[in-house]
Structure 1
C-alpha cells in the first residue's frame, strides 16, 4: 500500500513538473546512457542551464513584451 501511494505521488510530481516545463534530469541521464554512451553527461546545473536556454533563448533573457 505504501509503495503504491509513493508511486502515485512521484507520478503526480513528475506530471506537474512537466506541465510547468521543468525537465527531468534523471530521464536525460538514462537516455544518454542508453542512446549515446560515447557522449559525456552534463551535470545537473549544466543540464538546467541548457534547458532554460532552449526554452527561453537569449541566455535566459526573455525576448517578449509581456
Structure 2
C-alpha cells in the first residue's frame, strides 16, 4: 500500500470500527446536519457521544442484549 492510499484506508477503517462498536461518526453527523438541518447548531463531538450513549441506556429495547 502506498503512503497516499494509507490515509483514506485508515479513515475508512476508523469509521468501520466505530460502526462495529456503536460509536457515533461525527463527520457523518456534521454532513447530515449541514444537508438537512442547516439552521440548527450541531452538537459538539462530545455532546453527540454523550447523547447517543444516554439514548442507549434510556431505551433498553433498542439494545441487542
Q: TM-score normalised to the size of structure 1?
A: 0.74
After superposition, the CA RMSD in angstroms is 1.8
Moved over 6 A (4+): none
Partner of 1:12: 13
Partner of 1:22: 23
- Larger RCO (CA under 8 A, 6+ residues apart): 2
Higher helix share: 2
Q: Structure 1: which 5+ residue stretches go unaligned? A: 59-65
Q: CA deviation at 1:56?
A: 2.0
Number of aligned residue pairs: 59
Q: CA deviation at 1:5?
A: 1.7
For 1:37 and 1:14, the matched residues in 2 are separated by 24
